[in-house]
């Protein structure tokens, strides 16, 4: 399509303002005004290395205090045109229509671009919502159509950018000459910078290790192949907005995402569209990959130089077999990191308004599982429960009766409160409540097909049972428990 055709096509919306980045280092920027509007603009300009000058005959205390703190000069004179002399930019921020108009007219007469706060008709330029990771700047504008929208967009973008982005860009600038000398222009150079900004140098800067970042850049420049990296990332309990910002960022950078059965599609979909996805589900009863195979897969991907996200439900270090994966990676010399996530017990507690620790009632907490029996017997966390600990049982549906019996035998009252959540944090979650005596009934509930978290203890009595239904009882298991209790 020719340029003319493109320009005249009805879909192309033209901007009435055109974003540029203006050099202001050492240039004078004048703000005229005493109050909040002037302070807001002064703050904005102070993010640059411009020479800021505020003209305010009677500055309000907030402006005065800020100027003091930031070493900004206030000219305490009534405004006159000569105050604008030599300025590169002018802000009319007095809050008074007449004075702002005068400042704007004076600026225009002197050919200085001017912005008048909240008076678009007087503006030559607008100030963007700004994300400052100097030297990286992201400016968002709406031509005044929606300043609040600009702020919303700003915070969304801000969230996904690593805090150390500025330092990384500075590092890149210091390597630019060397790269241009050594790496041929075109695909090779693009690949170099991609590995620089998303690979080892970026990781080292993010970890605050600038010396290592320098070394990594040097290695990259010497032509060493990019090293792989595996992030063991907690995906949270299921709801895609319960993952951390770091997890989100890593997902968007990953070449490969290796995910578990419990991680919903919506969370995996936060990754790049062209990322390779590998399902490593290990659902009870249908093992699609053994733990050893997963360990080997991660090592192999790391050795191939891939950036891998190993996505696990909840927190990777809670019943996630991350220990084995980390050991395999360490042994193979593949670098890795761990990103925590919201574990299922916390999500279940939140769904139930359930305080896991409660002053004077519960001051410790047990994360346990209904499986993983050592020598056929449950480990002895029951005593802790008797001392008031809140017990969170992972994978506890199919042996709920055994868990209940274990606690009962240890002497925990059958009246102790129990809360159960299926699919915690998700819209289709289901909540159940009851007592320890009811717990065995869970085993016979064929309708519970999602993951189930059980929380037991006196603190559970403080939960909100308005959205929950009773746990159904199952005769067999219950009588077994009752026999034990008798």
Which residue in the list 51, 260, 438, 458 is annotated as catalytic?
Answer: 260
Distance CA 422, CA 431 (A): 7
Distance CA 333, CA 228 (A): 10
Does 312 sit near ligand SAH (CB under 6 A)? yes
Q: Report the residue number, 141 or 320, with the smaller CB distance to ligand SAH.
A: 320
Distance CA 197, CA 194 (A): 5
Does 263 sit near ligand SAH (CB under 6 A)? no
Does 320 sit near ligand SAH (CB under 6 A)? yes
Given phi > 0 = left and psi -120 to 50 = alpha, else beta, which region is 95?
left
Three-class DSSP category at 46: coil
Does 452 sit near ligand SAH (CB under 6 A)? yes
Q: Report the residue number, 34 or 443, with the smaller CB distance to ligand SAH.
A: 443
- Tell me whether residue 260 is one of the annotated catalytic residues: yes
Instruction: Tell me the β-bridge partners of 366.
Output: 391
Distance CA 391, CA 380 (A): 12
Does 301 sit near ligand SAH (CB under 6 A)? no
Among 195, 425, 435, 468, binds ligand SAH (CB under 6 A): 425
Q: How far is the CB of 400 from ligand SAH (least distance, A)?
A: 11
Q: How far is the CB of 424 from ligand SAH (least distance, A)?
A: 3
Does 394 sit near ligand SAH (CB under 6 A)? yes
- Smallest Cα–Cα separation from 34: which of 81, 96, 82, 85? 96
Among 451, 460, 465, 471, binds ligand SAH (CB under 6 A): 451
- Smallest Cα–Cα separation from 392: which of 344, 425, 431? 344
Q: How far is the CB of 439 from ligand SAH (least distance, A)?
A: 14
Q: How far is the CB of 269 from ligand SAH (least distance, A)?
A: 17
CB-closest chain residue to ligand SAH: 314
Q: Report the residue number, 56 or 395, with the smaller CB distance to ligand SAH.
A: 395
Q: Report the residue number, 262 or 459, with the smaller CB distance to ligand SAH.
A: 262
Piece in contact with ligand SAH (CB under 6 A), picked from 121-129, 300-308, 418-426, 438-446: 418-426
Write the burial class of residue 455 (CB in 10 Å: 0-12 exposed, 13-18 middle, 19+ buried): buried
Q: Report the residue number, 32 or 391, with the smaller CB distance to ligand SAH.
A: 391
Does 115 sit near ligand SAH (CB under 6 A)? no
Distance CA 291, CA 421 (A): 27
Write the burial class of residue 234 (CB in 10 Å: 0-12 exposed, 13-18 middle, 19+ buried): buried
Q: Which residues, numbered 186-245, are part of the site for ligand SAH (CB under 6 A)?
A: 237-238
Distance CA 103, CA 398 (A): 76
Does 319 sit near ligand SAH (CB under 6 A)? yes
Q: Report the residue number, 33 or 236, with the smaller CB distance to ligand SAH.
A: 236
For tokens 């790496």, name the residue: 183
Q: Report the residue number, 34 or 315, with the smaller CB distance to ligand SAH.
A: 315
Which residue in the list 36, 158, 210, 282 is annotated as catalytic?
Answer: 282
Supply the Cα-derived Rg of the chain in whole angstroms.
Answer: 31
Tokens matching residue 128 = 């963007």
The alpha helices in 110-164, defined as continuous H runs, are: 147-160
CB 458 within 8 A of CB 361: yes
Does 343 sit near ligand SAH (CB under 6 A)? yes
Does 368 sit near ligand SAH (CB under 6 A)? no
Distance CA 198, CA 228 (A): 11
- Tell me whether residue 241 is one of the annotated catalytic residues: no
Does 264 sit near ligand SAH (CB under 6 A)? no
Given phi > 0 = left and psi -120 to 50 = alpha, else beta, which region is 48?
beta
Q: Report the residue number, 201 or 451, with the smaller CB distance to ligand SAH.
A: 451
Among 104, 122, 233, 395, binds ligand SAH (CB under 6 A): 395
Tokens matching residue 336 = 């890795």
For tokens 């005596």, name the residue: 437
Catalog residues that contact ligand SAH under the rule CB under 6 A. Answer: 237-238, 262, 312-315, 318-320, 343-344, 347-348, 394-395, 421, 423-425, 451-453
Catalytic residues: 260, 282
């Amino acid at each position: 399509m020719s340029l003319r055709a493109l320009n005249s096509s009805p879909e192309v919306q033209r901007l009435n303002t055109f974003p540029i980045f203006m050099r202001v280092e050492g240039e004078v920027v004048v703000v005229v005004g005493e109050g909040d509007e002037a302070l807001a603009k002064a703050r904005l300009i102070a993010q640059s290395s411009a020479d800021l000058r505020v003209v305010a005959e009677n500055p309000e205390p907030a402006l005065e205090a800020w100027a003091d703190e930031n070493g900004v000069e206030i000219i305490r004179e009534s405004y006159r045109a000569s105050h604008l002399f030599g300025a590169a930019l002018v802000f009319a921020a007095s809050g008074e229509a007449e004075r702002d108009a005068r400042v704007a007219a004076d600026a225009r007469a002197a050919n200085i671009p001017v912005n008048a706060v909240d008076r678009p008709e007087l503006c030559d330029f607008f100030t963007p919502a700004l994300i400052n990771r100097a030297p990286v700047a992201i400016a968002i504008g709406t031509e005044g159509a929606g300043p609040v929208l600009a702020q919303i967009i700003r915070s969304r973008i801000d969230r996904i950018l690593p805090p150390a982005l500025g330092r990384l860009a500075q590092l890149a600038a210091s390597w630019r000459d060397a790269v241009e000398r050594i790496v041929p222009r075109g695909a090779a150079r693009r690949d170099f910078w991609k590995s620089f900004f998303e690979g080892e140098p970026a990781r080292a800067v993010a970890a605050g290790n600038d010396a290592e970042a320098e070394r990594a850049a040097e290695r990259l420049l010497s032509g060493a192949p990019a090293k792989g990296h595996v992030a063991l990332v907690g995906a949270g309990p299921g709801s895609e907005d319960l993952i951390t910002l770091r997890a989100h960022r890593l997902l968007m950078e990953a070449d490969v995402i290796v995910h578990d059965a419990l991680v919903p599609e919506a969370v995996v979909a936060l990754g790049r569209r062209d990322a390779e996805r590998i399902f490593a589900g290990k659902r009870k009863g249908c093992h699609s990959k053994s733990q050893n195979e997963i360990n080997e897969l991660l090592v192999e991907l790391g050795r191939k130089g891939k950036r891998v996200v190993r996505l696990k439900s909840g927190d990777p270090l809670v019943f996630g077999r991350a220990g084995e994966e980390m050991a395999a990676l360490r042994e193979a010399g593949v670098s890795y990191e761990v990103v925590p996530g919201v574990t299922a017990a916390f999500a279940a507690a939140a769904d139930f308004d359930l305080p896991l620790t409660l002053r004077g009632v519960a001051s410790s907490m047990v994360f346990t599982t209904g499986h993983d029996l050592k020598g056929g017997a449950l480990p002895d966390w029951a005593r802790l429960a008797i001392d008031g600990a809140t017990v969170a049982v992972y994978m506890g549906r199919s042996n709920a009766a055994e868990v209940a019996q274990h606690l009962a035998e240890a002497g925990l009252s059958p009246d102790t409160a129990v809360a159960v959540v299926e699919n915690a944090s998700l819209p289709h979650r289901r909540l159940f409540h009851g007592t320890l005596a009811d717990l065995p009934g869970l085993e016979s509930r064929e309708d519970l097909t999602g993951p189930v978290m059980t929380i037991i203890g006196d603190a559970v009595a403080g939960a909100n049972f308005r959205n929950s239904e009773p746990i159904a009882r199952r005769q067999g298991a219950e009588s077994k428990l009752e026999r034990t209790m008798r």
